[in-house]
Amino acid sequence: MKQAVAGNASQSFAEVLVMGFLGAITLFAHASGMTLILFPELAALSHDIITRPRGRWASDPGQLILTPTLTAILGLFLTRHLSYGALQMALIVGLSLIVIRITRSTIAPAISAGLLPMVLAERSWLYPVAIFLGIGILVVVLKLWQRFGPRDVHPGIRAAEHSRLVDALEAVPHSRLWALGLMTFVLGLGALAQASGLRFLVFPPLIVIAYELFGHPEVPGWMKRPALLPVVCLLTASVGLIAHQAIHAEFLAVMITMLGSVLILRAFRVHMPPALAVGLLPFVMDSPDGRFPISVLLGTSALTLYFFGYRRLLHAMEASAPKRSSIKSSTPSSSCSSPSL
């Protein structure tokens, strides 16, 4: 009992540290003039590695910095030479997946780092520098936390199960057809975004969520209720937009957004780190308005419906596979059925 209480206290203190880190990063972003040091996926990354300082991502700080920086360079280069469109977004996502594969990384938010310049129409080479600096500072905070934070705190059963679930989601995808399913979704939704003019139909954290969904459909627990995905992301997007517009001190608005987003995930009992990143998007957008949460709702609803169809297709394929093999094995070969001469 005492160990569980200590674990909960350590978790709460870690989340306070995450909010303080994001507030400090916001101040640094304004002081340096590099707004995108506040990379929205810093919310998901910082929450994961600070609350689980010995988890999969936290155990590989080199990849934590390298992979998003490489995809940021790639995404910016393509954005500077290509116009906005579905094929262009699919190209960036596909090449980001190749970077992740080549570097043997499991840092899924790197996909978001690659796609963000296209969605924001960002063309400055300061963007990958900002990504490098922001995540580099996060790694320094992680090292200090690992050295001076609580040690030998044994989590309760629920926390231990949650940590195993997260590590499973952060592993290399091994589901059949996951890449085809993901790229088809990006192309389809990207075409709708291009036709409608709602760029944030394909908001970058959505592709990270899709990557985890298609790559790990067998992992139980994190999507027991997929219908909650649009609700959770709509709420975190709305909290971020309201805080951005209502609170003059931006560092305080970022901290309140993070607090509200964490509480929303807890209230719905879901593990969805990219939803934390959704709340920070208004802080890097030009003049965000009510179209942003509407786009988030439409994009996540499209992903939910698409995933239902994708999962049914996988189940149908798995169900038909044994039938085919049994038919094949029951059919005698010509060499066995013909009498020898």
**Model confidence over 190-234: pLDDT tens digits?**
999 999 999 999 999 999 999 988 887 655 455 556 678 899 999
Q: What is the pTM of this model?
A: 0.85
Token pair for 115? 């796609």
N-term to C-term CA, the chain: 79
DSSP characters over 238-251: HHHHHHHHH-SSHH
pLDDT band at 102 (very low <50, low <70, confident <90, very high): very high
pLDDT for position 122: 95
Contacts of 272 (CB under 8 A, 6+ apart): 209, 222, 229, 232, 233, 265
The neighbour count for residue 62, using CB atoms within 10 Å, is 10
The neighbour count for residue 306, using CB atoms within 10 Å, is 18
Residue 223 lies inside a defined structural domain of this protein: yes
Residue 285 lies inside a defined structural domain of this protein: yes
Residue 328 lies inside a defined structural domain of this protein: no
Please check the confidence at residue 120 and state whether its pLDDT lies above 70.
yes
Residue 326 lies inside a defined structural domain of this protein: no
Q: Could you tell me if 243 and 258 are in contact, meaning their C-beta atoms sit under 8 angstroms apart?
A: no
* Cα–Cα distance measured from residue 44 to residue 273, given in angstroms and rounded to the nearest whole number: 5
Residue 339 lies inside a defined structural domain of this protein: no
pLDDT band at 38 (very low <50, low <70, confident <90, very high): very high
Residue 18 lies inside a defined structural domain of this protein: yes
For the stretch 315-334, pLDDT in tens is 787 777 665 555 555 555 44
Residue 149 lies inside a defined structural domain of this protein: no
What is the Cα Rg of the chain in Å?
22
Nearest Cα residue to 61 out of 2, 123, 145, 127: 145
* Cα–Cα distance measured from residue 200 to residue 194, given in angstroms and rounded to the nearest whole number: 10
Q: Could you tell me if 90 and 186 are in contact, meaning their C-beta atoms sit under 8 angstroms apart?
A: yes
Please check the confidence at residue 154 and state whether its pLDDT lies above 60.
no
Residue 39 lies inside a defined structural domain of this protein: yes
Q: Could you tell me if 276 and 41 are in contact, meaning their C-beta atoms sit under 8 angstroms apart?
A: no
Looking up tokens 């990006």, which residue turns up?
A: 186
Q: Could you tell me if 111 and 72 are in contact, meaning their C-beta atoms sit under 8 angstroms apart?
A: no
pLDDT for position 175: 65
Task: Name the CA dihedral angle for 234, 240, 241, 243, rounded to a multiple of 10 degrees.
Answer: 140
| Domain membership of residue 127 as a residue range | 2-144+167-319
* Cα–Cα distance measured from residue 175 to residue 179, given in angstroms and rounded to the nearest whole number: 9
Quote the number of domains for the chain: 1
For the stretch 251-280, pLDDT in tens is 999 999 999 999 999 898 877 888 999 999
